[in-house]
Structure formats: C-alpha cells, structure tokens
Amino acid sequence: MATDWPTSRLEVLNEEPLVVKNPKTWFHIHSYGGWGKFFKGLREKKLLATRCTNPKCEEKRLWLPPRTECPDCWHDMEWVEAPQQGTIYTFSTVKYPGELFKLPAGTHLISVELPGVCTKPMSWLKEGEPQFGMKIKAVFNTERPTNTILDLAWVPA
C-alpha cells in the first residue's frame, strides 16, 4: 500500500525565518448547564436570578448572573425573577473591541445596579447616552436571539 502526500498545505508567509499560517476552523460545543434557564428566560423577556434557599444564610439578596449553588453556604438556590428596572452604576464606550464582539465599535457597556440584587451585572445600553445613576429598563432580543448574554440590553426608563 502507498499513501499519497497530503493535499492541504500551510501557506508560507515568510521564508527567513520560516513563518507559516496555521488555520483554526472548528467550534466548541458549550453547555450552559444549570445556568441555561437564565438564557432561555431572556427569550421570554424574563430576567431570571437566583436566591439562596438556606434560611440560615445571611445573603438574602438575588444573584445575577445566577448561581445554582450559594457561594456563602453551598446550599441550593431557587430561581426568582429580578426587577427589570435599575440604574447605571458605571459605563464605558468600547472603541476597540476584540475580534469576536457581535456589536459595533462604539457600543456603550454598562454595569447595572438593581434593587434587591447583590451584584452589578455587566450589560450594554441599546439606546441613549449613559450617565451615572441613570434610570434604565431591560429589553430583550426575542426576534433573533444570539443565545448569549447580549440578548439582554437596557434602554432609558
């Protein structure tokens, strides 16, 4: 039996030193696991957070991004709808995003403060110019969901 040389090749970009182009074309199969409920909730315009079910746990507030186990007591959490109105805690306009960003350069990133929530989730402002303490409300990408955190955004309330 004789085996022929491969037909695909690496493109040579430079001879001295020898530099070749090494393509990467595959994808990752990623499971959101126990957090999938949050992303599916976005399709139904629900902002799903979690709360510790341990009556002895001191952290009574909601977690958003959700966690399925409480980091303070390792107890199970329950799913609860978080408020959809909050304020801008901080913001930045990203002029030079990384390669995989699905939104245009110039998008306003924000961190959101929500009543009764112990975290300040990072998100983006879909309309308007961000200001500290600005009142905002959640909007959801239900038409063509990306199935990422980008399906949640905020607009002035």
| Interface contacts to other proteins, rule CB under 8 A | 14, 17, 19, 22, 30, 32, 35, 58-59, 63, 65, 71-72, 89-102, 107, 109-111, 118-124, 132, 146, 148-150
| Nearer to other proteins among residue 2 and residue 18 (C-beta) | 18
| Nearer to other proteins among residue 84 and residue 109 (C-beta) | 109
**Nearest distance from C-beta of residue 6 to other proteins, angstroms:** 20
Residue 105 near residue 99 (C-beta atoms within 8 A): no
d(CA 96, CA 100): 12
| Nearer to other proteins among residue 2 and residue 104 (C-beta) | 104
Tokens for 6, please give them: 């491969």
103 CB-contact burial (10 Å; exposed 0-12 / middle 13-18 / buried 19+):
middle
**Nearest distance from C-beta of residue 123 to other proteins, angstroms:** 7
| CA quadruple 35, 41, 43, 44: dihedral, nearest 10 | 170
**Nearest distance from C-beta of residue 1 to other proteins, angstroms:** 32
